[in-house]
A and B are shown apart, each in its own frame.
Chain A
Amino acid sequence: MKHSYLRTAALAVAAGGILLTSAACGSGFDDKAGQSSAPQSSGPASLQILIGSSGDAETAAVKEAAAAWSASSGNTATVTPAQDLTQQLGQAFAGDNPPDVFYVDASRFADYASVGALEPYGDKISNPDDFYQSLRTTFTRDGKFYCVPKDFSTLALIVNDELWKKAGLGESDVPADWQQLTAVAEKIKAKGIVPLALGDTRDRIGAFMVQAGGWITSDDGKQATADSPENLQALEYTRSLLKDGLARYPKQLDAGWGGEAFGKGKAAMTIEGNWIKGAMKADFPDVKYTAHELPAGPKGKGTLSFTNCWGISAKSRHKEQAISFVEAMTKADQQMAFARAFGVMPSRQSAKEQFSKEFPDDVPFVNSAGYAHGPVNAPKMDSVLADFDAGLQQLATTAPKTILTRLQKNAQGVLGG
């Protein structure tokens, strides 16, 4: 009996070994990463484009633009909208079969760039200095401008005209700094209206940190700078708004996000990006509102920018054609076409004038671009920032210093700074 067990075990091990070796020899595990650059093929190429689309309008617009590029360049481009871009890209990289061109969210950029998944092509696009400086910084790592921004959004102060008037306020009362914001909010509160609906994450409260002159990491994304007096001042101020009932988180107003609370008329102001335009048109078409630049803090004006870039895979075999595709997508008039189709802002400064003329209501958003700060551009920060958000949700009852110390410790653990 013992003998037969041994033999079975030996056979099983042998079978496992054969399987392992056969799989290792299989073509699926060829080591392309080892080579410094993927072999390039010139001539007409078939590009795979993966986009994280905001909706049908965007998908259709990108498909149309891609078709026009295909017709003029003789290549083909297949545009696929992703269900879950982050997951699909992660799987594609792990499976060694990434798309040639894809959207890269600014907050995920460092993760991709740090593992060498992206081709640093930014300076090969014509007139790269035309892109807003803050957006270029967002997509620069180790001195290399990796990918060009597709478009961008910024945060602004959105004011409900009707509630504003109800509180006895006029156009000149729109707050320009923190003191005025507090003063105005107190006036609104006195009328029994919630003054400000403020999203409870770093993507909104972070704007106060920028206005105070602070940020979570250093500009190059190499060091944690969370535990600073500037950040403390920003959180103390936000906390005072929350404690005095001058600001409320959307959740407290029975809403999923600031725009929903604002649209339902539960707050007179909110801090949101230009995407609120589409949401208001679809869900709350009767609410009259205006957008204004965010009030300045002790260190001047500040807002946050949100953007995607056109990433090109480091493993693409058609990089030259991919760059030509991105070139076509980021031409000023093409960006204007996208702006008309799905309400984004062009990332090229040369399109600013045209944009401001066509969309006068969006001028505060596009004007904020000069002093906007991008998301944290350091790798592996996702869980650290999620933890920070969890801390911000408890801001009304937790000491800001505790939250920042914790963020500093966690960020240092990841960045090693």
Chain B
Amino acid sequence: MDITSRTGLPRLGRTSATRENLAGWLFLAPVVAILGLFLLLPILMALWVSLTSWNGQGSPFTGKVPFVGLDNYTGLFTRDDLARENFMVSVRNNIYYVGIVVPAQTVLALGLALIVNGRLLKGRTFFRSAFFFPSVTSSVAISVVFLFIFANSGAVNSLLGFFGVSGPAWFSDPRGVLHLLLGGLGVVDLDAPPAALTAGGPFGLSWWEWLSGPSVAMCTIIMLVVWTTSGTFMLMFLAALQDIPVTLEEASVLDGAGRWQRFRYVTLPLLKPTVFLVLTLGLIATWQVFDQVYVMSQGNPAKTTLTPAYLSYRTAFRDFDYGSGTAISFVLFLIIVVLALLQRWVMRERAADPGVRRRTRPRRS
């Protein structure tokens, strides 16, 4: 402001700036209106619903709908009832789900991308399409196919039977994999778990329940999702791999780097932005998992495939408790935001990475 007044052209400068601004907003107006109407407004409306105990009859935006403040939110964490237990069970299920799916699909996608990026592979186009194919197929269709494959007498169990293994009843097996593992190793007795773990735990769920691991039923959903999404992320890695200048690779070869060193010190650091993208997208998508649960298991068996997204839907549309339902979805939103920020912080660009330098220097001297 001071500068413009000193130049002696205050009026002209200001009007042209204002007009430019106005024109800018005019050009943006359609997008702002559309995004506001279809994105921002529904979110704000849902936020309002989460603060009420609306029962789904008539409009929630009248004075007759009881306002309950943060009750729906505090109830999820502090009230000792079934709603909190269901929510905590769904969070537990989803933590295991995210913890397995995100690393698995990222590694698999990177591996597939490296393979189809290789110059020696014959029929690369075929493999690229083949790996990408599950991603473009409807998730509902794939879920239904998996239902058949993993049925009690389905293809998977027949195959296992061929090797003399009697497969589990995949979709009706609520036993936690971690429990089974601990029981199998003889660490704990599954019928009488250690009292120290069953005695108590955070949010009304005992430590023993928190440590169940994904159930056998959940594992089938995990397998399905890893298989379908790795194709999409493979495409992203592939694009990034093809952006890496060949000269860099040649330079590292001249420096005497082996295949692993070339991958670890040249390719991987250059892929870092893509890894961040894939991890973030994976994190968001896995926390929001819904359609597979809806089609395949509806939260069964014994709630072990219940996820917050599905629970939110069920609470709202089946129990007519729209307030709690939307509250769950906002808690889910917060979980995702916090985790994405945390991940950004972990993977932030460090000004100077001493670790890399120390390791590379001695080799050069």
Contacts and interface: CB of A to CB of B under 8 A. Distances in A.
A33 interface: yes
Interface stretch (A184-192, A284-292, A376-384): A376-384
Contacts of A11: 25
Given A19-B33, A90-B317, A393 B59 contact: no
Interface in A396-417: 397, 410, 413-414
A111 interface: yes
Given A90-B56, A380-B319, A413-B82, A19 B314 contact: no
Given A11-B25, A15-B32, A23-B41, A34 B64 contact: yes
Interface string B138-159: 0000000000000011000000
Contacts of B83: 383
Secondary structure at the B interface, as helix, strand, loop or mixed, is: loop
A5 interface: no
A383 B40 CA distance: 32
B186 interface: no
B207 interface: no
Interface string B309-328: 00000111111111000000
Interface in A115-149: 115-117
Given A254-B152, A410-B82, A33 B319 contact: no
Given A115-B55, A382-B319, A24 B61 contact: yes
B4 to A, nearest CB: 12
Contacts of A387: 82, 86, 303
B62 interface: yes
Interface in B53-73: 55-59, 61-62, 64
A387 B153 CA distance: 28
Given A254-B169, A383-B314, A19 B58 contact: no
Contacts of A380: 319-321
A16 B292 CA distance: 35
A382 B318 contact: yes
Contact of A31 (B41, B59, B82): B59
Contact of A86 (B57, B301, B318): B318
A23 B33 CA distance: 12
B36 interface: yes
B136 interface: no
A117 B57 CA distance: 7
B44 A16 contact: yes
B339 interface: no
Contact of A94 (B37, B153, B322): B322
A29 B59 contact: yes
A413 B81 contact: yes
Given A387-B82, A413-B81, A31 B58 contact: yes
B36 A15 contact: yes
A352 interface: no
A219 B86 CA distance: 27
Given A16-B36, A387-B82, A32 B58 contact: yes
B57 to A, nearest CB: 5
Contacts of B40: 16, 19
Contacts, number: 99
Contacts of B320: 90, 111, 115, 379-380
A19 B37 contact: yes
B191 interface: yes
Contact of A251 (B32, B57, B172): B172
A93 B59 contact: no
Contacts of A30: 59
Interface string A360-395: 000000000000000000011011101100100110
B326 to A, nearest CB: 12
Nearest to A384: B82
Interface residues of A, number: 41
B272 to A, nearest CB: 31
B64 A33 contact: yes
Contacts of B25: 11
A86 B317 contact: yes
Q: Which of B57, B316, B319 has the most CB of A within 10 A?
A: B57
B347 interface: no
Contacts of A83: none
A115 B317 CA distance: 13
B310 to A, nearest CB: 12
A251 B302 CA distance: 14
Contact of B36 (A19, A31, A254): A19
Contacts of B316: 90
Contact of A91 (B37, B59, B314, B317): B317
B275 to A, nearest CB: 32
Contact of A34 (B33, B56, B58): B58
A23 B45 CA distance: 10
A393 B172 CA distance: 10
Contacts of A379: 320
B319 A111 contact: yes
A382 B314 CA distance: 10
Interface in B318-356: 318-322
B303 A33 contact: no
B177 to A, nearest CB: 18
Contacts of B33: 15, 19
A379 B321 CA distance: 11
Contacts of B81: 410, 413
B268 to A, nearest CB: 38
B126 to A, nearest CB: 38
Q: Which of B32, B55, B302 has the most CB of A within 10 A?
A: B55
Interface string A308-327: 00000000000000000000
Nearest to B29: A15
Given A33-B58, A393-B302, 12 more contacts: A15-B33, A19-B33, A29-B59, A33-B57, A86-B317, A90-B317, A91-B317, A115-B56, A117-B57, A251-B172, A380-B319, A382-B318
Interface of B: 25, 32-33, 36-37, 40-41, 44, 55-59, 61-62, 64, 81-83, 86, 152-153, 169, 172, 174, 191, 299, 301-303, 314-322
